Amino acid sequence: MSSETIVPPKVVLAKPIKSELLTQRVAAARWFLIPMLVALAVVAGWPLLRSIYFSFTDASLTDLYNAKFVGFKNYISWTTLKSGRTIYSGLLVDPVWWNAVWNTLRFAVVSVFFEAVLGMIVALVLNAEFKGRSIVRAAILIPWAIPTIVSAKMWAWMLNDQFGILNDLGLRLGLLGEKVAWTAQPDTAMTAVLIVDVWKTTPFMALLVLAGLQMIPKDIYEAAEIDGVHPVKQFFRITLPLVRPALMVAIIFRLLDAMRIFDLIYVLTPNSSATKTMSVVARENLFDFDKFAYGSAQSTLLFVIIAVMTALYIWLGRVRFDGGIDRCSGVIPRQPPFICWCW
Amino acid sequence: MLWSYTKTTAFYMLVLVIVVISVFPFYYAILTSFKSGTALFQVDYWPTSFSWDNYIAVFSQGAFPRNLLNSVFVASTTVLLALFLAVTAAFALSRVRFRGRSLLLMTILGVSMFPQIAVLAGLFEVIRALGIYNTPWALIFSYTIFTLPFTVWVLTTFMRELPIEIEEAAIVDGATPWVIITRVFLPLMWPALVTTGLLAFIGAWNEFLFALTFTSSNLTRTVPVAIALLSGGSQYEIPWGIIMAASVIVTVPLVVLVLVFQRKIVSGLTAGGVKG
């Protein structure tokens, strides 16, 4: 008797018809995918391979095709002098490059940290019920909608050493003793870049976190309220653990994004070695200094670093690719205009 | 009572701070763009003088109108191209099971994580070889690298949510996959297409690195590059008023679009068809 109830009633399927339909669909799918795949191969795959190839040659901007293969010379090479001293040269011993690596890492970690904290605060505010919530939501969309170049220029003007409003405000409020040349001085240039980046990208973070917050069932808070749990404790024991997946996705996307920052630094603090990042240095070598192969080596190294980070992320986060793309993490931010769909 | 009053006040103070910080730089740019002459170099928190000089200068000197046209052309063509390629690909990726599908999705995700600088050297070579260097087509071509993975990914997510019953009904009526896409899914997908297209448009509109590298003359530049390279007579004479006017011109349409579509962006992916 019991054996009858256990047997799963699933074996009855019209197999032949289904598979015919299936073949047709799979064939169609192939044709639908080919244009996209060709496009991606031409704009991404091939150029990437060529960039990596150039990094092993002595190519120059004016002479791309007669480049000779030089092995790892751009990365590292050494010559031993008669005196027995060995002199190393190449990317891996280049202080300018390591300075750029350090700048990039510093920028990425600090900016993402502040964006996460402030984004969390803004998201908590937006998650509360209050009059004028839609105005706040509209307002925080403004930094996000402004092009990076434009925001860099706006802030460059506000941070201007002589006529900038921030120096004026700082003097009036007594926060500053004297006018500061924010973008020009080496010790404040990075701060200036961080301020602008945090201002610009916190909204993105807030929207992603807000999406996570809105998925938390309200009755958990009701139960906590009845049990008399203090709001601060509620935040650390309920909100933070439950919003963590959304927050982590946002943080990792932002980290990957921050690692390749170029435009803000190029415009806000040009020529300041205190803020030059890997992308800025690589482009300089590629197109300004006529060290095309050397620049290719730098961009290849940056690619490797980001690829390793991405692989780690996929491995650690166990992103499910089949049947379960997370609706919020599915949107990949490259340029600012990326938003989560489920606020 | 007093405690709750303080709490409400503190909360609204926080709200005020958030709004002011978000809006102020844009407000200040508008304020500056309407100043001219020496008024520019006085710090004002409220409008004190008003003149159209900067706007007139932006449109009369230099190639700014042409840059605007370039930006509009490049961004819209890029979006149309990406949407066209992405709709069919998204159908295949979301509604058809085949081997290697998850690998493919992973590759697409990987491409969208690419640092642009990693392909810059190779793209430069391809663009030179195609003979499109310093034309809008160089930008349309290169922008595909970030608009296409993004649109494919979002549309795949969206299509997966469409109820299977709609498609089954179409199959029973003898519809081919192409008919299913164009006649059944597309009408349901307008909201998603609009929002995805809008986001890709903003991405292309704001792009800087490729635009800076693949164009070399005033007439072919897009707006972000034009603004970045706007300069005065000497290094010390930065025309802030004109830069701010140009910035406002570029930003106002975007801000309006985003504010108008903020509801659409929200509902974009939930509005199509029967909600699963």
Helix (H, G, I), strand (E, B) or coil at A24: helix
Output the 3-class SS for chain B. Answer: CHHHHHHHHHHHHHHHHHHHHHHHHHHHHHHHHCCCHHHHHCCCCCCCCCCCHHHHHHHHCCCHHHHHHHHHHHHHHHHHHHHHHHHHHHHHHHHCCCCCHHHHHHHHHHHHHCCHHHHHHHHHHHHHHHCCCCCHHHHHHHHHHHHHHHHHHHHHHHHHHCCHHHHHHHHHCCCCHHHHHHHHHHHHHHHHHHHHHHHHHHHHHHCCHHHHHHCCCCCCCCHHHHHHHCCCCCCCCCCHHHHHHHHHHHHHHHHHHHHHHHHHHHHCCCCCCCCC
- Using 50, 70 and 90 to split pLDDT, how confident is the model at A93? confident
Window A:114-153, CB contacts with B under 8 Å: 121-122, 125, 128, 130, 132, 135-153
Q: Is residue A7 part of a domain?
A: no
Per-residue pLDDT of chain B (276 residues; tens, 9 = 90+): 788 899 889 999 999 999 999 999 999 999 999 988 777 778 888 888 888 888 988 888 778 899 999 999 999 999 999 999 999 898 888 888 888 888 888 788 778 777 889 999 999 999 999 999 999 999 999 999 988 988 888 888 888 888 888 888 888 888 888 888 888 888 888 878 888 888 888 889 989 999 999 998 888 999 999 998 887 655 567 888 888 999 999 998 888 888 888 766 544 333 222 222
Report residue B133 as tokens.
């260097």
Q: Is residue B248 part of a domain?
A: no
**In this structure, are residues B208 and B225 in contact, taking their beta carbons and an 8 Å threshold?**
yes
Say whether A153 and B23 touch across the interface (CB within 8 A): no
Average pLDDT of A297-307? 91
- DSSP secondary structure letter of residue A92: G
Window A:102-121, CB contacts with B under 8 Å: 121
- How many residues in total does chain A contain? 343
**CA–CA dist A295, A289 (Å, integer):** 9
> Cα torsion at B92, B98, B104, B105 (round to 10°)?
60
Q: Is residue A69 part of a domain?
A: no
User: Is the same domain home to B185 and B102?
Assistant: yes
Contact B116/A at CB under 8 A: yes
Q: Is residue A325 part of a domain?
A: no
User: Given this model, what pLDDT does residue A25 score?
Assistant: 81
**CA–CA dist B4, B127 (Å, integer):** 64
User: Is the same domain home to B25 and B83?
Assistant: no
Q: Is the pLDDT of residue A83 over 60?
A: yes
User: Is the same domain home to B100 and B39?
Assistant: no
Domain count, chain A: 1
Contact A72/B at CB under 8 A: no
User: Is the same domain home to B120 and B141?
Assistant: yes
pTM of structure: 0.85
Average pLDDT of A153-174? 89
Q: Is residue A210 part of a domain?
A: yes
Q: Which residues of A touch B150 (CB under 8 A)?
A: 331-332, 334, 338
Pick the more confident residue, A177 or A281. A281
User: Is the same domain home to B38 and B127?
Assistant: no
Closest Cα in chain B to A301: B118
User: Given this model, what pLDDT does residue A154 score?
Assistant: 92
Window B:93-112, CB contacts with A under 8 Å: 93, 95-96, 98, 101-102, 104-112
Arithmetic mean of pLDDT over chain A: 81
Which one of A19, A22, A32 would you mutate to disrupt binding with B, by most B Cβ within 10 Å of its Cβ? A32
**CA–CA dist B41, A167 (Å, integer):** 13
Q: Is residue B243 part of a domain?
A: no
User: Given this model, what pLDDT does residue A319 score?
Assistant: 47
CATH code, B171: 1.10.3720.10
User: Given this model, what pLDDT does residue B232 score?
Assistant: 60
**CA–CA dist B41, B24 (Å, integer):** 18
The dihedral built from the CA positions of residue A276, A281, A287 and A290, taken in this order, carries a sign that is: positive
**Residue from the list A282, A314, A343 with its beta carbon closest to the beta carbon of B117:** A282
Q: Is residue B56 part of a domain?
A: no
Contact A231/B at CB under 8 A: no
User: Is the same domain home to B107 and B222?
Assistant: yes
Q: Is the pLDDT of residue A320 over 50?
A: no
Q: Is residue A333 part of a domain?
A: no
Q: Which residues of A touch B115 (CB under 8 A)?
A: 259-260, 279, 299, 302-303, 306
**In this structure, are residues B200 and B144 in contact, taking their beta carbons and an 8 Å threshold?**
no
**In this structure, are residues B122 and A49 in contact, taking their beta carbons and an 8 Å threshold?**
yes
Contact A330/B at CB under 8 A: yes
Pick the more confident residue, A269 or B272. A269
**Residue from the list A32, A287, A336 with its beta carbon closest to the beta carbon of B92:** A32
Q: Is residue B186 part of a domain?
A: yes
**In this structure, are residues A106 and A190 in contact, taking their beta carbons and an 8 Å threshold?**
yes
Say whether A33 and B171 touch across the interface (CB within 8 A): no
**Residue from the list A135, A150, A168 with its beta carbon closest to the beta carbon of B250:** A150
**CA–CA dist B4, B132 (Å, integer):** 65
A86 contact partners, CB below 8 Å, separation of at least 6: A78, A79, A80
User: Is the same domain home to B44 and B106?
Assistant: no
Q: Is residue A262 part of a domain?
A: yes
Q: Is residue A227 part of a domain?
A: yes
Residue A202 belongs to domain spanning: 95-317
Contact A155/B at CB under 8 A: yes
Q: Is residue B74 part of a domain?
A: yes
Q: Which residues of A touch B88 (CB under 8 A)?
A: 32-33, 35-36
Q: Is residue B236 part of a domain?
A: no
**Residue from the list B104, B146, B225 with its beta carbon closest to the beta carbon of A335:** B146
**CA–CA dist B249, B252 (Å, integer):** 6
**In this structure, are residues A100 and A276 in contact, taking their beta carbons and an 8 Å threshold?**
yes
Q: What percent of chain A has pLDDT over 70?
A: 86
Say whether A321 and B109 touch across the interface (CB within 8 A): yes
Q: Is residue A323 part of a domain?
A: no
Contact A168/B at CB under 8 A: yes
User: Is the same domain home to B39 and B99?
Assistant: no
CATH code, A301: 1.10.3720.10
User: Is the same domain home to B140 and B186?
Assistant: yes
Q: From the CA of B76, how many Å to the nearest CA of chain A? A: 15
Burial A211-222, CB ≥16 within 10 A → b, else e: bbbeebeeeeee
Residue B42 belongs to domain spanning: 2-51
**CA–CA dist B107, B113 (Å, integer):** 10
User: Is the same domain home to B28 and B47?
Assistant: yes
Closest Cα in chain A to B230: A153
User: Is the same domain home to B99 and B213?
Assistant: yes
Average pLDDT of A263-287? 90
| Each residue's pLDDT tens digit, A203-230 | 888 887 887 788 788 888 888 889 888 8
User: Is the same domain home to B28 and B78?
Assistant: no
Contact A339/B at CB under 8 A: yes
**In this structure, are residues B187 and B205 in contact, taking their beta carbons and an 8 Å threshold?**
no
Domain count, chain B: 2
Which one of B112, B117, B162 would you mutate to disrupt binding with A, by most A Cβ within 10 Å of its Cβ? B117
